[in-house]
Amino acid sequence: MAQFTLPPVYPILDTGTLDRRGLDWTIATEAFIEGGARILQIRHKTYWSRETFAKAEEIAALCHSAGTLFVVNDRADYAAALGAALHLGQEDLTPADARRVVGPSAIVGYSTHNPAQMTAAALEPADYLAFGPMFATVSKERPDPTVGIAGLQAIRALTSKPLVAIGGITRDNALTCRNAGADSVAIIADLYPEPCTKITLRDRMREWQRLLGS
């Protein structure tokens, strides 16, 4: 498997956050792309209706036109239907099983939360691995225990695959995560300013790009 290069900034298009803020998903996607996003994951934790899939198709098309890697969270079937990359959690299909759906050439990421999971994940056919939550996070209802910077430094030695730090990452602590061994940082909460408009979202994405480089 060829080594996959993670962009340093990994924005998450969180549909729940966007719905609460009253911002259309495709408008948010345009803002992220205009802000320089080279990867974009859609995180949709509720039911995928026909309307949801249609919106995801629009987002996939926008990303494809811009050369931005589009990633579907959790669902191998929808990732395959959209021709997208896939990001899996510990409660989803394993990367090996997911590849029976998305195929051998799709980009697949896999989240881990402790050394045992990381050791097992290193043997899976995943292109990159995620580790966290780094810090306290409000994006999950039942988050795993925080791992902290020391945990990230220790985990870096367990895999040579690209590593993305996840969970509670802000502009104040992102560089610390990079310096501790993360190739990339995934962001949800600190990506969505208040008020949340296309302009403020684009500007926040640009701020992240300036902080970590493109």
pLDDT band at residue 214 using 50, 70 and 90 as cut-offs: low
* Structure tokens given for 84: 């997208």
Q: What average pLDDT score do residues 75-101 get?
A: 98
* Structure tokens given for 62: 């926008």
Q: Residue 143 has what pLDDT? A: 73
Q: What average pLDDT score do residues 92-96 get?
A: 98
Q: What average pLDDT score do residues 113-120 get?
A: 96
The residue behind tokens 């993305």 is: 164
Q: Residue 68 has what pLDDT? A: 98
Q: Residue 139 has what pLDDT? A: 67
β-pairing verdict for 184-187 and 39-43: unpaired
With a cut of 60, say whether residue 1 has pLDDT above it: no
Determine the topology of domain 9-212 in CATH. TIM Barrel (3.20.20)
Q: Which residues contact 202 (CB under 8 A, 6 or more apart)?
A: 31, 32, 34, 35
Q: Which residues are catalytic?
A: 43, 111, 140
Instruction: Give the tens place of pLDDT for each residue, 150-192.
Output: 999 999 999 999 999 999 999 999 999 999 999 999 999 999 9
Q: Where along the chain do its domains lie?
A: 9-212
Instruction: Give the tens place of pLDDT for each residue, 17-55.
Output: 999 999 999 999 999 999 999 999 999 999 999 999 999
Average pLDDT along the chain: 95
**Amino acid at site 62:** L
pLDDT band at residue 2 using 50, 70 and 90 as cut-offs: low
Q: Which of 48-52, 120-124, 137-141, 209-213 bottoms out in mean pLDDT, i.e. has the lowest?
A: 137-141
Contact present, 78 and 56 (Cβ < 8 Å)? yes
